[in-house]
Amino acid sequence: MRDHGYSGSYKAVVRHLARIHGQPKVRALRRVETPPGVQAQHDWFEIQVPIGAKRHRIQALVGTLSHSRARFCWVSRDQGQLAWHTGHVAMFERYGRVALWVRIDNLKTGVASGAGSSAVLNRSYEIFARTLGLDIDPCRPRKGSDKGKAERSVRTFRGAFGEVVRRGAGSMEELQELLDREADGLLDQLECPVTDTSVRVAWEAERPLLQRLLSLVEAFDGLVSRRVQRDCLVSFGGPRYSVPFAWLGRMAGGDLGDIGPCGHPG
């Protein structure tokens, strides 16, 4: 594009080369390393754990800082919109701060339509991400290698959490504590391939380069709208909020574009 003014797509180039040279017998893969503080990868996996006297199907969200390989896990009863947002906040609290980008799979709580660079984000998730000051980078369709570090973390945790999963816990809170303890131990046991140090040492060096974590009252999974009154104020939960004059008489809230941490107009 830079040297020849080409305006077509990357896939068109791939198809053109395939017609000329045929499909390669072996396709090489290159591991991409990101600078510290730039990217985290989040993904769900499922475990079956005894909680109390009954075995439950539990959803576990794994988060990985791509540079240092610091890995953490948060558990939920489901993979709904609120769980998706709350799990992100749980990851950021464990990282200590927020990465510039989060790479995700093309799940419905994250992506409304499309995939990869052409993906249209779920509206609630888009506002949630903007509130925290991060950008979302969805994977290409059917390309698990696009979030290879998260996939690797899932395999690592499945092995490391084996004893906890077999033994179970008395409650979800106790299960979370046990998993946090196991994840913390891995920070010293595993090595960061970028820095040749333990993951904990690499993580401690990366943490100051992450963004500051905003104080959220709680994550949200929905938006509300209110009609703008003649004084250019909207009411929500008791307090009244000022909005631009152009919104006089219109419904404001989900379409304003600036929504506070709990769905309040900002």
SS3 176: helix
Contact between 205 and 195 under an 8 Å Cβ cutoff? The reply is yes
Cβ atoms of 84 and 110 closer than 8 Å:
yes
More confident residue, 214 or 174: 174
Mean of all residue pLDDT scores within the chain: 87
Within a 10 A sphere around the Cβ of 213, how many other Cβ atoms? Answer: 15
Q: How confident is the model at residue 256 (pLDDT cuts 50, 70, 90)?
A: very low
Is the distance from CB of 14 to CB of 30 less than 8 angstroms? no
Query: How many Cβ atoms sit within 10 Å of the Cβ of residue 245?
Result: 8
pTM score, whole prediction: 0.74
CA dihedral 66, 39, 223, 221 (to 10 degrees): 10
What is the third-level CATH fold of 39-209?
Nucleotidyltransferase; domain 5 (3.30.420)
Average pLDDT (120-141) is 91
Per-domain residue ranges of the chain? 39-209, 223-266
> What is the mean predicted confidence (pLDDT) over 155-176?
95
Task: Quote the pLDDT of residue 219.
Answer: 54
- Which tokens hold the place of 186? 């891995």
Average pLDDT for 85-102 = 94
Q: So what's the pLDDT on residue 47?
A: 94
For the chain, where are the alpha helices, taking DSSP H only?
Answer: 10-21, 81-95, 123-132, 148-160, 162-167, 172-189, 199-206
Question: Residue 91: what pLDDT?
Answer: 96
**Of 198, 192, 254, 196, which Cα lies nearest the Cα of 226?**
254
- Mean pLDDT over 106-112 rounds to 93
Query: What is the per-residue pLDDT for 155?
Result: 94
